[in-house]
Amino acid sequence: MPKILIIEDDTAFCQMLQKFLTKHHFDISTSFTIQEAKEELRTSFFDVILSDVRLPEGDGVTLLSSIKTDSPKTQVILMTGYAEVKTAVSAIKKGAFDYISKPFTPENILAVIKNALNTETQKKVERSDSKNEKVASTNKKKSSIIAGTSEVSRKLLQYIDLVAPTNMSVLITGESGTGKEVTAKAIHDKSKRNNQNFVAVDCGAIPKEIATSEFFGHLKGSFTGAVEDKMGHFEAANGGTLFLDEIGNLSYENQVQLLRALQERKIKRIGSTKEITVDIRIITATNEDLLEAVGKGTFREDLYHRLNEFSIEIPSLQERGEDLLIFANYFLDRANEELGKNVLSFSDEVKQTFQKYSWPGNLRELKNVIKRAVLFSEGDVIMSSSVPKTLGKSSEVSSEAKFSKSNYEKEKILSALKQTNFNKSKAAKLLQITRKTLYNKINQYQLEV
């Protein structure tokens, strides 16, 4: 039975958490102060420690170093309020396993605990596995979303974990190259449909004349060129997830057909009178302003609301500066595998160039730059000679661009707040971001509102 220590000065909350976790077959101990926790840690080993960030006479982070030194296998999970998120992220860099923001549901904390226990179990398995099994395990990990440690990256992962187990339709927004399809796949992989198909469709690449056939299929001979029966994307994704990228590119007629299919959960192949019932989850993505398209009348408002039961805004690479080298090393490993090379690292000069560059093409651009650099590298370190010169030339411009973008975003947020009489929920809707994202931006720019 896994042993868990809860360090929490809110007695009622601590007892409630203890009762819930005991029901789920955990051996629970509790401490209300840091001193009590230290006494427990002197006499017992714990698989997981749940600690509030703010505690009497200190905080949960102060315990972290001694815990990781004395008991490196113990996983530490921090429970935070909104204001302590930055502290928690800093703690993760020092060895904490994860953090969870209050208020949270019992199911959420249970999932984080199980993840922590599974992580330690997986480490044991990997240590005893053969070399080939280790490679297979590594490859499996690399197929998932890249986990950054910055606040915005952790929030993104939290949103994925939150919505994945549901059947809600998800609208993913973000700049081109930020990884919208990777995010959609991560939602599918963490959902109850993960053993069924994930079908990705680029709506921008489908001519409107054949979109109906692509979505719903057709029978042989139903139109010129229909030389055989064809299954559409809806049927192919039946039981699983259908990801529609660049949804804003669909014609108005195709939008009507899509809406009808989503409402009725039934489709017909072209040329057939037989209705086919489909059970699919829809995830869509766009780098356009769909609300603006709704206002112009080029995108149906009823379809927009049908697709936007839950929205996720993926931050740009510039907003995830803390994660840049994590992403760079991930793509370095991928490039080595694909090209059969063994480049180990980046020179300090290349790292500085990467960090100063604005990355308008986001993760996709970073991936391509690193793959090219690995190809051209002769040694085991990527040098400046293997990196496009345009990255270095635009370093100064990128700082100005970053400053301008920040000012523009701050002004946009303040304007929205003023328009809505500082109603944050309405302002978030006006800005087409979630309320949590708005709070993050307000905190990031230290806006007094």
CATH number of the domain that residue 42 is part of: 3.40.50.2300
CA–centroid distance for 320 within its chain = 12
256 and 168 in one domain? yes
In a domain, 349, yes or no: yes
Q: Which residue has the higher pLDDT, 309 or 412?
A: 309
Q: What is the pLDDT of residue 81?
A: 67
* Residue numbers of the domain that contains 352: 318-393
Instruction: Identify whether residues 173 and 290 lie together within a single domain.
Output: yes
| 152-155 contacts, C-beta under 8 A, 24 or more apart | 152/315, 152/319, 152/320, 152/440, 153/315, 153/320, 153/322, 153/323, 154/89, 154/92, 154/99, 155/436, 155/437, 155/440
State the Cα–Cα distance between residues 283 and 145, nearest whole angstrom: 16
Counted residue by residue, the chain has a size of: 449
Compute the radius of gyration of the chain from its Cα atoms: 25
Nearest by Cα to 317 from 357, 283, 262: 357
Question: What value does the mean pLDDT take over residues 20-48?
Answer: 87
* pLDDT of the residue at 124: 47
Same domain as 281, residue 324: no
Q: Residue 92: inside a domain, yes or no?
A: yes
User: Measured between alpha carbons, how far is 77 from 108 in angstroms, rounded to an integer?
Assistant: 12
Res. 236: pLDDT tops 80: yes
In a domain, 375, yes or no: yes
Place of tokens 């790292």: 351
Regarding whether 290 and 195 lie in a shared domain, the answer is: yes
Residue 76 above 80 pLDDT? Answer: yes
In a domain, 171, yes or no: yes
User: Would residue 135 count as lying in a domain?
Assistant: no
pLDDT score for 303? 93
pLDDT of 145 higher than 50: yes
Same domain, 388 and 403: no
Which of 104, 128, 152 delimits the end of a domain? 128
pLDDT at 399: 45
Query: Which of 290, 313, 336 is at the close of a domain?
Result: 313
Mean pLDDT is highest, among 90-104, 122-136, 336-350, for 336-350
Same-domain status, 262 and 380: no
> Cis before residue 103, ω within 30 degrees of 0?
yes
Q: Which residues contact 13 (CB under 8 A, 6 or more apart)?
A: none
Q: What is the pTM of this model?
A: 0.58
Same domain, 307 and 182: yes
Identify the pLDDT of residue 247: 92
Do 269 and 333 reside in the same domain of the chain?
no
Average pLDDT over residues 143-151: 73
Instruction: Work out the mean pLDDT of the chain and round it to a whole number.
Output: 82
Confidence band for 415, pLDDT divided at 50, 70 and 90? confident
One domain for residues 291 and 307: yes
Q: Taking 90 as the threshold, does the pLDDT of residue 198 lie above it? A: yes
State how far the Cα of 373 lies from the Cα of 382, in Å rounded to an integer.
7
CA atoms of 126 and 119, how far apart (whole Å): 10
Any domain includes 295: yes
Confidence band of 120 (pLDDT split at 50, 70, 90): low
Lowest mean pLDDT among 104-113, 137-146, 332-341, 385-394: 137-146
End-to-end CA distance of the chain: 48
* pLDDT at site 108: 76
Single out the residue in 256, 281, 313 at which a domain terminates.
Answer: 313
pLDDT at 387 over 90: no
Question: What number of CA atoms fall less than 13 Å from residue 129's CA on the CB side?
Answer: 14
Model pLDDT, residue 90: 67
Residues 15 and 115 grouped into a single domain: yes
Is residue 129 pLDDT above 60, yes or no?
no
Q: Give the pLDDT mean for 268-273.
A: 90
Looking at the structure, do residues 285 and 377 belong to the same domain, yes or no? no
**pLDDT class for 97, splitting at 50, 70, 90?**
confident
Q: How far apart are CA 307 and CA 246, in angstroms?
A: 13
Q: Are 146 and 154 in contact (CB under 8 A)?
A: no
Per-residue H/E/C for the chain: CCEEEEECCCHHHHHHHHHHHHHCCCEEEEECCHHHHHHHHHHCCCCEEEEECEECCEEHHHHHHHHHHHCCCCEEEEEECHHHHHHHHHHHHCCCCEEEECCCCHHHHHHHHHHHHHHHHHHHHHHHCCHHHHHHHHHHHHCCCCCCCCHHHHHHHHHHHHHCCCCCCEEEECCCCCCHHHHHHHHHHCCCCCCCCEEEEEHHHCCCCCHHHHHHCECCCCCCCCCCCECCHHHHCCCCEEEEECHHHCCHHHHHHHHHHHHHCEECCECCCCCEECCCEEEEEECCCHHHHHHHCCCCHHHHHHHCCEEEECCCCHHHHHHHHHHHHHHHHHHHHHHCCCCCEECHHHHHHHHHCCCCCHHHHHHHHHHHHHHHCCCCEECHHHCCHHHHHCHHHHHHHHHHHHHHHHHHHHHHHHHCCCCHHHHHHHHCCCHHHHHHHHHHCCCCC
Mean pLDDT score, 194-220? 87
Q: How many CB atoms lie within 10 A of CB 190?
A: 19
Most confident segment among 84-88, 112-116, 406-410:
112-116
Same domain? For 281 and 334 the reply is no
177-206 mean pLDDT: 91
Percentage of residues in the chain having pLDDT higher than 70: 86
Residue 138 clears pLDDT 50, i.e. is over it: no
Note the pLDDT of residue 433.
74
Instruction: Tell me which of 57 and 383 has the higher pLDDT.
Output: 383
Q: Say whether pLDDT at 269 is over 50.
A: yes
Give the separation between CA 152 and CA 129, rounded to whole angstroms: 35
* CATH classification at residue 292: 3.40.50.300
Q: What's the domain count of the chain?
A: 4
> The domain that contains 437 carries what CATH number?
1.10.10.60
CATH of the domain at 347: 1.10.8.60
Residue 89 pLDDT level (bands cut at 50, 70, 90):
low
pLDDT in tens, 426-444: 887 777 776 767 777 787 7
Mention every residue, 6+ apart, whose C-beta is less than 8 A from residue 403. none
Is residue 138 domain-resident? Answer: no
Flag whether pLDDT at 131 surpasses 60.
Answer: no
| Tokens found for residue 322 | 């803390």
pLDDT at 123 over 90: no
**153 lies in some domain:** no
Q: What is the arithmetic mean of pLDDT over 373-395?
A: 81
